[in-house]
Amino acid sequence: MALSGLGLVIYVIFHMLGNFQVFEGPLALNAYAALLRDMPILLWAARIGLLSLAVLHVVLAIQLTLRNRRARPIAYAVREYRQASFASRTMATSGVVLLLFIIVHLLHLTVGVIDPSSVDRLDVEGHRDVYGKLVHAFQNPFIVAFYLAGQLGLGLHLSHAVTSSFQTLGLEQAAFNRLLKAAGPGVALLVVLGNVAIILAVFLGIVRG
């Protein structure tokens, strides 16, 4: 779970950095998106790798949850948490929220079945107008609310997951324990702030079509 999860975290960070091209204007973002599509073998290798990691991660999460339940079939009479943070106790819920977000996000911006109106438009350089698609999407308050809710799930999940995966991999050392503990919330905050900046920049008209 730790390795597949870290692979997905790396994707999420690079995805956000790539999406920052929206601040450079339509030609920059569309040229960046076209560059990725112009290398179909690499694109499909990355897509298949990503999908395999996601499926592996979900299957292992279900197995682990079932194994935990079997180990303690009778619930505790009193639940008093001393160490476990809110994020660690809600990993299954935030994971499901995140999975639903990703499915809807792909249907929305990649497949285009949720809002087909802007999917196949081209910009002046003949590239797919990914910039126009984003601007069109985040002008809609319902889509903005949905994406912000997705960021909540993402932030909660990452804030526990990153630190926990480092511990699973045995990186816990007295010398940099505090750094490891801060890594999860730190990565979560950076990714969520970055994504929220993109969404709100469009919604507030700072980035426009």
- The CB density around residue 145, as the number of other CB atoms within 10 Å, is 11
Within 130-159, the residues that bind ligand HEM by CB under 6 A are 130, 134, 147, 154
CB of 78: closest distance to ligand HEM in angstroms? 36
Amino acid residing at 154:
L
105 binds ligand HEM (CB under 6 A): yes
Among 52, 65, 93, 110, binds ligand HEM (CB under 6 A): 110
Within 36-75, the residues that bind ligand HEM by CB under 6 A are 47, 50
Interface size with ligand HEM, residues (CB under 6 A): 18
Q: Which one, 23 or 176, has the nearer CB to ligand HEM?
A: 23
Q: Dihedral angle at the C-alpha atoms of 128, 31, 126, 108, nearest 10 degrees?
A: 10
Q: Which one, 47 or 121, has the nearer CB to ligand HEM?
A: 47
**Residues with Cβ < 8 Å from 196, sequence gap 6 or more?**
148, 151
Q: Which one, 54 or 171, has the nearer CB to ligand HEM?
A: 54
Which residue is at the shortest CB distance from ligand HEM? Answer: 195
- Report the C-alpha gap between 81 and 33 in whole angstroms: 46
Q: Which long-range contacts (CB under 8 A, 24 or more apart) does 53-57 make?
A: 53/4, 53/7, 53/8, 54/4, 54/8, 54/102, 56/4, 57/1, 57/4, 57/5, 57/8
Q: Which one, 79 or 208, has the nearer CB to ligand HEM?
A: 208
183 binds ligand HEM (CB under 6 A): no
Among 2, 4, 5, 19, binds ligand HEM (CB under 6 A): 19
- Report the C-alpha gap between 162 and 69 in whole angstroms: 24
Are the C-beta atoms of 52 and 10 separated by less than 8 Å? no
Q: Which one, 60 or 196, has the nearer CB to ligand HEM?
A: 196
Q: Which residues here bind ligand HEM, judged by CB under 6 A?
A: 12, 15, 19, 33, 47, 50, 102, 105-106, 109-110, 130, 134, 147, 154, 195, 198-199
